[in-house]
Amino acid sequence: MSMYNYAKRSKFESAIKQMQDAEVNGSELYFVLVYLAREHGLHDLAEAMLKNASEDSVHGGMYGAMLGKGKETVDELWKQAVRLYKVEATAQSKLQKMADEMRSAGEPELAKCVEATIEEENEHARRLKAVFDAHGIAY
């Protein structure tokens, strides 16, 4: 049985929404703290928080699916994944343009931070592409 949209059909929709918000917000805070812990060289703390953040994100995703977010059918899921791929695959030029604008405005440190994300965004696209290729999904 699919849990997609299940909470919307139950008397617990409000509780599930509260739990989804808590998991998503908690995950965001964990991710912020991961970044800050790394800045301070606290790599063990960052690693622990990264795992917690990832798991909380998945919990938030589960609750979100229960609330009807995302896509239920396999075809819709693939289509949404392809849309995400397209965002990831075009991120480099957009991020570089933003970084260039920041640098031109006298904010080289901001520009470096934005540029530091570009290769990971490219890797996101490569990961998705590999999965699409393995499943014969057009992108």
Give yes or no: residues 64 and 83 share one domain.
Answer: no
Last residue of a domain, one of 46, 70, 94: 70
* 7 membership: H or E segment, kind and range: none
pLDDT digits (tens, 9 = 90+) for 37-77: 999 999 999 999 999 999 999 999 999 999 999 988 999 99
pLDDT at 72: 84
pLDDT digits (tens, 9 = 90+) for 67-116: 999 988 999 999 999 999 999 999 999 999 999 999 999 999 999 999 99
List of long-range contacts for 125-131, beta carbons under 8 Å, 24+ apart: 125/85, 125/88, 125/89, 125/91, 128/81, 128/84, 128/85, 128/88, 129/85, 129/89, 131/81
Distance from the first to the final alpha carbon of the chain: 29
Give yes or no: residues 55 and 105 share one domain.
Answer: no
Structure tokens belonging to residue 37: 């812990």
Last residue of a domain, one of 52, 70, 88: 70
pLDDT digits (tens, 9 = 90+) for 7-37: 988 999 999 999 999 999 999 999 999 999 9
pLDDT at 65: 96
